Amino acid sequence: MAYSGRISDEASYSFVVLSPWYATWWAYLLYLLILGGLITAIVKWRSRKLKAQNLILEERVKERTAELEQSYHNVELLGEIGRKITASLSAEKIIATAYANVNKLMEASVFGIGIYHKDSESLDFPATYENGAALQPYSNSLQDPDRLSVLCFNTGNEIVINDLNAEYGRYLQKMPTPSMGQAPASLIYLPLKIKGNMFGVITVQSFNKNAFSEYHLYMLRTIAVYTAIALENAESFQNLQQTLSSLKETQSQLIQSEKMASLGELTAGIAHEIQNPLNFVNNFSELNKELVQEVNEELNKGDIEEVKAILKDLEENSDKINHHGKRAEAIVKGMLAHSRSGSSEKSETDLNALADEYLRLAYHGLRAKEKSFNVDFRTDFDSNLPQVHVVSQDISRVLLNLINNAFYAVNEKRLKHLENGHEAYKPLVTVKTQNLGDAVEISVSDNGGGIPESVKSKIFQPFFTTKPTGQGTGLGLSLSYDIVKAHGGEISVESEKARPDDPVGRGIGTTFTITLPL
């Protein structure tokens, strides 16, 4: 077609461009609805999840609370069990208490405790229970390879068996046989330790398989600790009791030795006191025998006057024999009176006479032991001293001890001065009494070597002595102190030692003073 060159009329068109459907208002509304639904769904899902988590947490809290409550209950229970177990100092009672409480917590068909004894190298079971009945005591040697108790002790490890027939091979080469009673099906052995040292074993056994849980094991471990402590305390107490008993026996023997030593010195003094009148009796008896012979001779001669004179001499000699015999009798009666007065029998006693008597007896007793012993002794007795209600035998023992000590002190100083060439020293012991109105005072003084200040505080302690080994038990002053205290009195000591520049030791020494209430 040929182009004519003519331009045609302009054509116009009108278009309306519509938004896409996803950009329309209803689309946005749909979006909002979907978003709202989604948010709602998310919120609901989240809420359900939180609720589920809360339920889980609540369950866990309940479980933990229950566990804490159970733990608290366990702590309280174990504390109470521990107090019961440690309340006794008897091994049998401790084991019985442990069994009674363990039996409440678990199936304890058999319960026992083995205690290690070093001397016999064994585990001794003093009390084992089977179904509530006590079995006879028995022992397991630590050299026995077929005992679970021995294995537990020697290794220090726990042994837990749920089925003995199936599991014993893990521990032993052959099936163990019970030392007493029936064979168990399940069992626990735990070591008992004190400060890391093996003390023994504890065992709980059941005739049923799988009888014990972790809870039972936990509880038994704690009970084992309490039991070990209690048994060690019981053993220590028993050892202390034995030691105390041994000490008391030794003390009793030493006291008896002290009394016998005093008796020996007293006997020597009494012998001297009696010897003098006996000498007179013997001498006058011999003289009377001679006079009787003279009487016979004079009778044969018919000299009546001479016979009368001899008979008069015989009568005088008989009076003297009677006098000195009564003197000896009085000494013996006095000693018998002292020896027969019981330790609790008090009587009115003349302390002046008692002190004078025992001063002389002590002096003559020492003179009998050592002929070279020579000491001046003096008395300064209060003539107004009333009689005192005392056990005369006990007070005489105190006086004898103090006077003997005084004589010993001055004699030791005398010998030392003789060795050093100082002969000017004059040994002196003085016994003095005084009426204080509401009490009487007896003092025993010497001018011996004195007592060091460091020793004075120990002087009344049992077994303390300044004498060389073998010359004193150390009980004399201790017994004297106890006797005076038992009478409600006091005993004290004052002493001064000599200065180095005063070899003679003038004006020094020791004074023991006894005060007894009226």
State the pLDDT at residue 450: 87
Of residues 127, 69, 61, 67, the one with CA closest to residue 100: 127
Q: 232 in a domain, yes or no?
A: no
Where residue 259 falls among pLDDT bands split at 50, 70, 90? low
Whether residue 363 is found in the same domain as residue 446? yes
Q: 10 in a domain, yes or no?
A: no
Q: 173 in a domain, yes or no?
A: yes
**Residue pLDDT, tens place only, 331-378:** 666 555 545 544 567 889 999 999 998 888 888 777 777 777 788 899
DSSP secondary structure letter of residue 387:
P
**Helix/strand/coil percentages in the chain, nearest 5:** 55, 15, 30
Task: Give the count of beta carbons closer than 10 Å to the beta carbon of residue 60.
Answer: 10
**Residue pLDDT, tens place only, 92-120:** 899 999 999 898 888 899 999 999 998 89
Q: Which residues of 26-47 are buried (b: 16+ CB within 10 A; e: fewer)?
A: eeeeeeeeeeeeeeeeeeeeee
Whether residue 68 is found in the same domain as residue 99? no
3-state secondary structure of 95: helix
Whether residue 328 is found in the same domain as residue 347? no
Whether residue 358 is found in the same domain as residue 506? yes
Where residue 511 falls among pLDDT bands split at 50, 70, 90? very high
Q: 386 in a domain, yes or no?
A: yes
Whether residue 357 is found in the same domain as residue 333? no
Query: What residues make up the domain containing 149?
Result: 88-212
Q: Across residues 263-276, what is the average pLDDT? A: 62
Q: 332 in a domain, yes or no?
A: yes
Is the pLDDT at 330 greater than 50? The verdict is yes
Range list of H helices, 341-464: 351-369, 392-419, 453-456
Q: 410 in a domain, yes or no?
A: yes
DSSP secondary structure letter of residue 16:
-
Q: Please answer whether residues 406 and 446 qualify as being in contact, where contact means their C-beta atoms are separated by less than 8 angstroms.
A: yes
Q: Which residue did the predictor score with more confidence, 313 or 449? A: 449
The rounded distance, in Å, linking the Cα atoms of 129 and 207 is 13
Which tokens is 479 given?
Answer: 């017994």
Domain stops at, among 179, 212, 245:
212
The rounded distance, in Å, linking the Cα atoms of 407 and 431 is 12
Specify the number of domains making up the chain: 4
Which tokens is 121 given?
Answer: 């190298």
Whether residue 459 is found in the same domain as residue 350? yes
Task: Give the count of beta carbons closer than 10 Å to the beta carbon of residue 415.
Answer: 12
Whether residue 511 is found in the same domain as residue 451? yes
Domain stops at, among 306, 323, 340:
340
Whether residue 398 is found in the same domain as residue 271? no
Which tokens is 205 given?
Answer: 């056994």
Q: 225 in a domain, yes or no?
A: no
Give the CATH number of the domain where residue 120 resides: 3.30.450.40
Whether residue 477 is found in the same domain as residue 399? yes
Apex 298 CA angle, 292 and 304, nearest 5: 110
**Residue pLDDT, tens place only, 130-166:** 998 989 999 999 999 889 999 999 999 999 999 999 9
How far, in Å, are 26, 44, 47, 53, 461 from residue 38 at the CA level?
18, 10, 14, 22, 99
Whether residue 362 is found in the same domain as residue 499? yes
Whether residue 356 is found in the same domain as residue 325? no
Give the CATH number of the domain where residue 496 resides: 3.30.565.10
3-state secondary structure of 28: helix
Q: What is the pTM of this model?
A: 0.48
Is the pLDDT at 9 greater than 70? The verdict is no
Domain stops at, among 319, 340, 361:
340
State the pLDDT at residue 121: 92
Q: Which residues of 264-277 are buried (b: 16+ CB within 10 A; e: fewer)?
A: ebbebbbebbbeeb
Whether residue 408 is found in the same domain as residue 287? no
Q: Please answer whether residues 459 and 493 qualify as being in contact, where contact means their C-beta atoms are separated by less than 8 angstroms.
A: yes
3-state secondary structure of 34: helix
Q: 230 in a domain, yes or no?
A: no
